[in-house]
Amino acid sequence: MKSIKDHCGIFGIFNMPDAARLTYFGLHALQHRGQESCGIVSSSYDSERQRKIMTAVRDFGLVLDVFDDPSLFQRTLKGSAAIGHTRYSTSGSSVNRANIQPFHVRYRDGNLTIAHNGNLSNASTLRRMFSEQGILFQSTSDTELILHLISQSRETNQLDQILDALSQVKGGYALALLTDDSLIAVRDPNGFRPLSIGKIQQPNDNGTQSYCIASETCAFDLIGAEYIRDVEPGEVIIINQESTESGTLHSRRLHRKNPVSQCVFEYIYFSRPDSLIYGEMVDKIRRKFGKQLAHDAPVPRVATEEKAPLVISVPDSSNTATLGFVSECQKLGYRCKYDIGLIRNHYVGRTFIAPGQDSREMRVRCKFNTVDGLLKDRIVVVVDDSIVRGTTAKLLVKMIRDAGAKEVHFRVASPTVISPCFYGMDFPSKDELLSSQFNDVNEIGKWLGVDSLAYLSIQSLKKAVSSAHDSPYGYCDACFTGNYPVPVDTCVSKDAYD
């Protein structure tokens, strides 16, 4: 499943020399969450102006490309606090430079910078309200709405202004905000999007604490930070000088109207397998998905004299689920062998192929290639993490058949996607979903060109998560069930105004 995109990854750090450089490494670890643009804003004290200033570097492209000049961190991005953002956009927004985050403003109470992962489900209502008030917009992102709500708040304290603004937004969001004196981490009351807190040792070891926040803990691993805990659903964490001296994090709470509904797709696709998400390793959960899939739809049985079915993954997000699937099939008495039958090219950008009639097929062929000698005359079972539109899966099946496979069976380590998401994933509209175009799984299988097709059941998905992680919170599965945990107004995509 390569057509769903999470919107972004966020990282922040406070009270650490060379904060922007560490943010750069944090963003590099989060590059998989957003590959169209990125940015860093750092905070430092200007002795001439005798006040805090914030400087930004933002551009289209990968982290390694945007920050390829080492002098940026000596000349521009100075200071002991910074936040960063990697972004995936939806339709049209890739040409809108104003949408590149983090956003920075200076208003009556000083500097304010924000980085946002997620979607506001009442964005269209808020935007309409501000438009009627004559408010001008600099971007087409719903993140800007939060800044307008903060600036218009009648609260006198900056933190109270932020809390007032957040009380008016709905949907899924994880936020990193940087003020003149604090780094603030926020997770929406439903906990849709993940956000973790880490601690890093200062080089001078002067007894004060340095803290960082990130969408995934793999960012902590790269900079040598220690994972402390997750930001709880509806929690607002304030990291300031007092926090660094006392080692105590200050916390406020947002009002919750609906039950906690953490996005289960973080486990299925978005997060790196080496990350700790919602308190559990992604790798462990994905292996559980694969094992449950083996119970729901194992490899086909073959005669003793035939070669065992070859099981291959669609790299990279389905790799660990495939390992779980193979090991459980073998445990259940099914003959099969795991091997690498698809090779992924990691250096293909989203704009690599020029538009044209064959651009989609060429994009898939530039991204994946088959190991022909391995697949020839074999029964091949392909395991993928999910199917949304199905176009990539259909082309991969064709490539595997062209490589000489005798049979092609497809197994999906998640349930059928039947509904779009409004909480921070770039799902297509319902009409574009593959499941909406066919009556049942058999028809989908015929369209894909496979000998058999099977999905993980929703019951098995829940069983896999609960057996791997005893979490006190529930999960959002609206994309599989159509049951939205938070009401959605006439929701417009974050970039629909481009």
Do the beta carbons of residue 191 and residue 235 sit within 8 Å? no
Amino acid sitting at position 269: Y
Catalytic residue among 8, 212, 329, 491: 8
Look-up of token digits 């044209």: 356
Question: Residue 218 catalytic?
Answer: no
Do the beta carbons of residue 79 and residue 49 sit within 8 Å? no
Q: Please give the Cα distance from 6 to 89 (Å, whole number).
A: 9
First to last CA, the chain: 26
For residue 87, count other CB atoms closer than 10 A to its CB. 28
Look-up of token digits 């080492």: 70
174-177-181-183 Cα dihedral, nearest 10 degrees: 30
Do the beta carbons of residue 327 and residue 299 sit within 8 Å? no
240-153-87-20 Cα dihedral, nearest 10 degrees: -30
Provide DSSP, 335-352: --EE---EEE-TT--TTS
Look-up of token digits 């698809």: 342
For CA atoms 347, 349, 355, 356, the dihedral sign is: positive
Nearest CA-CA partner of 259 in 419, 463, 473, 477: 473
Angle at 40 between CA 50 and CA 8, to 5 degrees: 145
Nearest CA-CA partner of 60 in 39, 77, 76, 40: 39
Ramachandran class of 197: left when φ > 0, alpha when ψ lies in -120 to 50, beta otherwise: beta
Nearest CA-CA partner of 469 in 258, 280, 228: 280
Do the beta carbons of residue 468 and residue 66 sit within 8 Å? no
Do the beta carbons of residue 183 and residue 14 sit within 8 Å? yes
Q: Please give the Cα distance from 125 to 129 (Å, whole number).
A: 6
Q: Which residues pair with 171 in a beta bridge?
A: 120
319-331 and 282-296 helices cross at what angle (nearest 10)? 50
Please give the positions annotated as active site. Answer: 8
